[in-house]
Chain A
Amino acid sequence: MIIKKISRNTLIIICLNLFLFGASSCTKDENNNQTSNEIKIISLTASDTIIKAWVDTTHIQVTTTGDSLVYAWEANHGAISGKGSAVKYAAGQCCVGLNTISCTVSNRSGKVSSSIKIRVKSYFEK
């Protein structure tokens, strides 16, 4: 009876821990958060800052100074294709509005970020 109870308790605690462990598994990468004095973003430009949903693609390029640079891109809405210092951005009808594309450039010395706004017009707009 005690063995059965302990087995039940053990099973419940294992399940609880698995659930709680899973709940804690989302972590942010906290490494290299320091702003770098070595890296400088000279420009962050887009071929078009107003695009039509689905129809248009804009090319975004970042010009920087620094060595051994890693370029990280994110968009709050829409999709980015490519890698490195030049990428493409497009968005669907769900992303109509003023969207922000951010570029973070980093190396061992730290990182710097910049962002650009792209307006996505409705697919129905002429």
Chain B
Amino acid sequence: MKNDGTMKLKRLITITLLIFLLVFGSRIMAQCCSAGNPPGNDGDQSSIGKKNLMITVAYKYGFANKYYTGDSPITLPEMGSVVKEASYNYLESRVSYGINSKMSVLAEIGYFIDKKEKYTSESWKTQKGYGLADASLLFRYRVYHNWKKQFEISPFVGIKIPIGVFDQEVNHVQLPITLQPSSGSYRYLASVYVSKGFPGKNYHIFSLSSIEIAQRIKSDNFDYTYGTLYSFSVTGSYKFFRFLTTVLQLRNENRAKAHRDGNQIVESSGYSIVYLAPQMQFVPIKNWKLSVSCDLPVYKHYNGIQLSNGYACSFRLVHQLNFN
């Protein structure tokens, strides 16, 4: 019985992949090369148990309307391509599966409902992009876990794949790179998650250190490499009631300068931002979780002059299934 079930699973997976490759193989090869998914994390990177499946859907809204030079805001003249305000509405879907007690896999995909830039000059019409963004595939392995002390160390490795739209046009005019839903670039991720609980207590702390390295995008007229992104966050959570947890995250993101046309440095690129991200988590019924969070930059430093990140808020719904 057990062997039949396993054989059937293997056959199903093999057939599915073969069909997929036959039908969609050529489309996979036609990948195009990009601004991509909004940064940040929901602070919830806790382990998922063996044969547990976690499905997350999230909505995120982001807004920006201030230019920064260094760590000071700057007012630009109202002309040309000066952006008055930029915003996005973003959906994300994530699936995590515990392969065994130590290893899990995570797949994530995003979709921009819209990504808008409104210009200060009235002669420049608001531009809007939308569509499929990037996908992520991550593997996590718990290298150390002490049940008694509730201490865990788990590294992740993964890849972000630019599956979405990177050459979107409106009226046959290609949108600027900042409005393209996909980043256009493969990016390689490595992270380490460290978690510490306190037996008998309602609070818990964890940290996440990440690095994201972008691959060079090279096509006929476009040669660009996004700067490497370093991120470090410390998060504390406190469970008030069985169904209510509050979370507070302090997160630093540092992005190095980008390069274009070979090794030319893009001086007005790269930044260092510190975010404060409060979050509320509700567990209305078992295995369901709803959370609300906001990313609030409390310190910003931008190289050159750049449109700075404003605030971003998100809603997440998480459901966990146990197949044990």
Interface residues of A (CB under 8 A from B): 2, 4-6, 8-9, 11-13, 15-28, 30, 54-57, 70-83, 87-88, 90-94, 96-98, 100, 102, 115, 122-123
Contacts and interface: CB of A to CB of B under 8 A. Distances in A.
B298 interface: no
Q: Classify the interface of chain A: helix, strand, loop or mixed.
A: mixed
A126 to B, nearest CB: 15
A96 to B, nearest CB: 7
B30 A27 contact: yes
B107 A90 contact: no
Nearest to B13: A13
14 contacts: A2-B1, A19-B135, A23-B28, A24-B27, A26-B166, A54-B79, A57-B80, A76-B221, A80-B173, A81-B124, A83-B171, A92-B268, A94-B269, A97-B260
Nearest to B24: A24
Given A17-B20, A100-B221, A23 B161 contact: yes
A79 B126 CA distance: 11
Contacts of B261: 97-98
B117 to A, nearest CB: 8
Contact of B28 (A24, A54, A79, A90): A24
Contacts of B173: 72-74, 80-83, 87
A12 B177 contact: no
Contact of B82 (A54, A74, A94): A54
B45 interface: no
B176 A22 contact: no
B81 A79 contact: yes
Given A77-B260, A96-B268, A100-B221, A2 B81 contact: no
Given A90-B81, A96-B268, A102-B221, A21 B24 contact: yes
A92 B81 contact: yes
A71 B169 CA distance: 12
